[in-house]
Amino acid sequence: MNIDLKNLTIEKAHDSLKAGEYTVLDLANAYLKVIKEKNSELNVYLEVYVDVMAQAERAQAMFTDGSATLMTGIPVALKDNMLFEGHVASASSKILENYKATYDAGVVAQLKSQGAVFLGRTNMDEFAMGSSTESSAYGITRNPINPDYVPGGSSGGSAAAVAMNGALVSLGSDTGGSIREPASFCGIVGLKTTYGTVSRSGIISMGSSLDQVGPMTKTVADAEILFNVINAYDAMDSTSVPTGKRVSTTTTLKKRIGVPRAFVSTEGVNQEVLKNFEESCEKLKNAGYEIVDVSLSLLKYSLPAYYIIMPAEVSSNLARYDGIRYGLSSEGDKLFDVYAKTRGAGFGKEVRRRILLGAYVLSHGYYDAYYNKAVKVRDAIRNELQEVFKEVDAIITPTVPTLPWKFGEMSKDPVSMYLADIYTVGANIAGVPAISVPSGFSESGLPIGLQITAPHFAENTLFTIGKDFEKLV
Ligand code: GLN
């Protein structure tokens, strides 16, 4: 059975499955074959689930009994921080190496009920901390577009899975850019959803006020289909917004898009990225959008605010890995020794760095100077954005200020890697949705992405503009 995986979309696969051109098992097998061919070189999947065929059979039965939906039988890759009952979820950390999920994450349960087929779990930066997937405890993942380069991170495995045709779609999580940045580096679409729209239940937490799950796909239409399934209230997530309150202020599109000029051309931005961005602006103009300059003078403070708030939440969230309740447990004479030895052996360098930073900014005497100030900055950024959204439907910037880099190029200096998040963290700080759509290639053939940001709950705006843009690239 020869299925053209490169050009396959959810709708095409659904039509073929419905027409009986191939079965869910054929489709799953086609992806498993690609994984078998490519995974040893690229290290995209940490595990291919043993029950893929059993899942495929259940999905095929839904076609027979007429209960199939668009997602039935669609092969999905899961980031390694999403719980799938009975399967390992390690967050790419040694501390959770053998941890088996005892329940399904909200998103997993929603997709399961529709008969999606989970192929396996993908590599990521340890506990989602990083922008290159180099901080995984289980080796690097290579970029399928050019294996000498990083795939981005932290959802690098989920991006690479789609880019190498090793899954039709995947799920990633985004705390400061971890869906959009790897999507941009691997030449695919990545959507960070409005905070509160997609369940965080059963997602291994990083920064709870910032984390969101979202789709990683080849097309904007696929991102929309997947989003429509996971955009659901979940009582198991205390920050899940009730359906009736998911109201966007955007009613009709003004067809006006804002460019925060000064912010876009901040120091150190790659010239090819800037040139590509200007070309994207032209393309959108040709598609009938008015492109206007907007002033967002506070947006540049998103990055410093993020690197205070995120480690503070990391240090509290990761306190639960103490050698008593979950995963790895080292022997020790006293309780404190058990904690120290377990955490010393189980956490990698980047994770320890952030726990230390977080404990510091939350400590007595520094709490007001750092954490409280960052929270105030966060409010100010959100308010400024909301004001600008009265004038424009969306804001555009490049997704990442650099091209994908080679392995090791950034890891010696953590701050240079943190700077790669400059354009993406704003959406997490403000809680608004943002999408990265492929916008072309550098001269050396590396993918570049355009980021579109919309007001709270205005994912539809992103889909409309994203689809218009996609046609022009
Ligand atoms: N690169 C960012 C960081 O290292 C974002 C991570 C994420 O979104 N999970 O914090």
What's the pLDDT tens digit per position in 357-372?
A: 999 999 988 999 999 9
328: pLDDT strictly greater than 80: yes
Identify the residue whose C-alpha is closest to ligand 1 atom 5.
176
Give the whole-angstrom CA distance, residue 116 versus residue 56: 8
Please indicate whether residue 471 is annotated as part of the active site: no
- Ligand 1 atom closest to 354 (CA): 10
Range scoring the smallest mean pLDDT among 75-84, 303-312, 316-325:
316-325
Tell me the pLDDT tens digit for each residue of 52-91. Answer: 999 999 999 999 999 999 999 999 999 999 999 999 999 9
pLDDT level of residue 250 (50, 70, 90 thresholds): confident
Q: Give the strands of the sheet with 447-453, arranged side by side.
A: 45-48, 117-122, 75-79, 169-174, 212-217, 189-192, 434-441, 447-453, 394-398, 256-259, 290-293
Residue 257 is inside which H or E element, if any? Answer: strand 256-259
316's CB contacts (< 8 A; 6+ apart) are 358, 362
For residues 314-323, average pLDDT: 95
Residue tagged active-site, from 79, 112, 192, 283? 79
Give the whole-angstrom CA distance, residue 429 versus residue 261: 20
Helix, strand, coil percent content, the chain, rounded in steps of 5: 40, 15, 45
Question: Which comes out higher in pLDDT, residue 143 or 411?
Answer: 143
Give the whole-angstrom CA distance, residue 278 versus residue 269: 13
User: What pLDDT, on the 0 to 100 scale, is given for residue 128?
Assistant: 98
216: pLDDT strictly greater than 80: yes
1: pLDDT strictly greater than 80: no
Give the whole-angstrom CA distance, residue 77 versus residue 89: 13
- Ligand 1 atom closest to 153 (CA): 1
User: What pLDDT, on the 0 to 100 scale, is given for residue 251?
Assistant: 80
- Ligand 1 atom closest to 207 (CA): 9
C-alpha distance from residue 178 to each of 33, 211, 398, 462 (Å)? 27, 10, 15, 18
141: pLDDT strictly greater than 80: yes
Taking the CA atoms of residue 228, residue 230, residue 231 and residue 237 in that order, the dihedral angle to the nearest 10 degrees is 170
Choosing from 158, 175, 351, 429 the residue with most ligand 1 atoms within 8 A of its CB, the one to mutate for a pocket test is 175
Report if pTM > 0.85.
yes
Report the relative pairing of strands 117-122 and 75-79 from DSSP bridges: parallel
- Is the N-terminal amide bond of 154 cis, ω within 30° of 0? yes
User: What pLDDT, on the 0 to 100 scale, is given for residue 411?
Assistant: 82
Query: What is the residue type of 15?
Result: D
Select from 176, 365, 442, 410 the least CA-distant residue to 155.
Answer: 176
pLDDT level of residue 375 (50, 70, 90 thresholds): very high
When the pLDDT of each residue in the chain is averaged and rounded to a whole number, the result is 97
C-alpha distance from residue 143 to each of 159, 188, 192 (Å)? 9, 12, 21
**Spatial contact of 250 and 454, defined as CB atoms under 8 Å apart:** yes
Tell me the pLDDT tens digit for each residue of 15-44. Answer: 999 999 999 999 999 999 999 999 999 999
User: What pLDDT, on the 0 to 100 scale, is given for residue 433?
Assistant: 98
Count of residues making up the chain: 473
218: pLDDT strictly greater than 80: yes
From the CA of 92, how far away is ligand 1's center (Å)? 14
User: What pLDDT, on the 0 to 100 scale, is given for residue 249?
Assistant: 81
Both tokens of 369, joined, read 């100077």
Both tokens of 68, joined, read 């199939």
For residues 163-192, average pLDDT: 98
313: pLDDT strictly greater than 90: yes
Select from 184, 152, 143 the least CA-distant residue to 441.
Answer: 184
412: pLDDT strictly greater than 90: no
Please indicate whether residue 79 is annotated as part of the active site: yes
Percent residues over pLDDT 90 in the chain: 94
C-alpha distance from residue 446 to each of 167, 217, 276, 390, 404 (Å)? 21, 18, 12, 36, 7
How many of the other CB atoms lie within 10 Å of CB of 384? 18
User: What pLDDT, on the 0 to 100 scale, is given for residue 81?
Assistant: 98
Please indicate whether residue 154 is annotated as part of the active site: yes
Tell me the pLDDT tens digit for each residue of 413-469. Answer: 888 899 999 999 999 999 999 999 999 999 999 999 999 999 999 999 999 999 999
**Spatial contact of 454 and 430, defined as CB atoms under 8 Å apart:** no
Helix (H, G, I), strand (E, B) or coil at 347: coil
Residue tagged active-site, from 154, 173, 280, 302? 154
Residue tagged active-site, from 158, 178, 201, 240? 178
Choosing from 310, 423, 428 the residue with most ligand 1 atoms within 8 A of its CB, the one to mutate for a pocket test is 310
Name every protein residue with a CB atom under 6 angstroms from any ligand 1 atom. Answer: 128-131, 154, 174-178, 206, 310, 421
- Ligand 1 atom closest to 128 (CA): 9
The dihedral built from the CA positions of residue 156, 347, 407 and 32, taken in this order, carries a sign that is negative
Percent residues over pLDDT 70 in the chain: 100
Identify the residue whose C-alpha is closest to ligand 1 atom 10.
129
Give the whole-angstrom CA distance, residue 54 versus residue 68: 16
